[in-house]
Amino acid sequence: MNRSVDESCSDIEKSSAAFWDKLLSEEDQGRTRTNEEIVNFYDKWARDRCIDKAIEAKGYPALDVMQSTVEELFPADVRDHVTILDVGTCTGNSGQRLYQMGFPNIDGLEPSLGSLRLAEERGVYRKLYNLALTAEPLDILPDTYDMVVLLGVMGPGHISVDAFTEMIRLVKPGGYILNLTRADFLEKCQEYTRKWKPTIERHKSAGKWRQLKEQRYSDHFDNREGRLHLFQIC
């Protein structure tokens, strides 16, 4: 294994963005982490609750951006009936915020078992799936969800753009896919620089979705600029 990156908890607590900056610079040198390696990092960090310690120390501005976007989509009086899939649940910060906003029907999907156990402790999820999302169909009926949320799930070695195919299958017509991540992840990781635009366009021209929003925000996490994309399923 490449040891150029210090993957210990203390490193991520002290300087979380710097950890990911190092993985991005590896991408510049043509080395992309596998999804398995990335999930192993999260599993290791879960043992010491690294992610939650970093969020406690630094805050998580992207949660507020997610909240204000979702508030516009679903007025408070319909939230009881809305079903959400929180892809890349991790330790459950995204799901907890949605739950606090009045959404009681949130399922989570997360490949790191250690992280998923911490998410479960929050008691805000209806169901949790210990799985990675890919283009392969899951054992979940089509048109199950009103919204799929991905908060910080697109990054080096993280979810593939190909997984949008499965998200589209899972979301009801008229429902939404909301993606928020660090801007430089989309702009520098080969997975996204090569496949993002053609994939978005392919689903558009096939009449699968339309893009409702694309915006930048100043701070996703740890002073790194964020990008938000909102799609509506046709």
Ligand X SMILES: C[S@@+](CC[C@H](N)C(=O)[O-])C[C@H]1O[C@@H](n2cnc3c(N)ncnc32)[C@H](O)[C@@H]1O
65 binds ligand X (CB under 6 A): no
Sign of the C-alpha dihedral computed for residues 200, 204, 208 and 211 taken in this order: positive
Binding residue for ligand X, selected from 35, 130, 144, 199, defined by CB under 6 A? 35
**Alpha carbon distance 93, 12 (integer Å):** 17
**Cβ-based nearer residue to ligand X, 82 or 109:** 109
Minimum distance from residue 205 beta carbon to ligand X (Å): 25
Bridge-based pairing state of the strands 83-87 and 105-109: parallel
Using CB atoms within 10 Å of the CB of residue 201, give its burial: 0 to 12 exposed, 13 to 18 middle, 19+ buried.
Answer: exposed
Minimum distance from residue 15 beta carbon to ligand X (Å): 15
What residues numbered 80-139 form the site for ligand X, per CB under 6 A? 87-90, 93-94, 109-112, 115, 132-133
226 binds ligand X (CB under 6 A): no
**Cβ-based nearer residue to ligand X, 78 or 219:** 219
**Alpha carbon distance 230, 210 (integer Å):** 9
**Cβ-based nearer residue to ligand X, 62 or 174:** 62
Minimum distance from residue 151 beta carbon to ligand X (Å): 4
Number of residues located near ligand X, criterion CB under 6 A: 22
38 binds ligand X (CB under 6 A): yes
**Cβ-based nearer residue to ligand X, 105 or 179:** 179
Token digits for 51? 């992610």
Site string for ligand X, 159-188 (x = CB under 6 A): x-----------------------------
Burial annotation 59-93 (CB, 10 A radius, 16+ → b, else e): ebbbbebbeebbeebbeeeebeebbbbbbbbbbbb
191 binds ligand X (CB under 6 A): no
Minimum distance from residue 94 beta carbon to ligand X (Å): 4
Are the CB atoms for 101 and 67 separated by under 8 Å?
Answer: yes
Token digits for 95? 């799901």
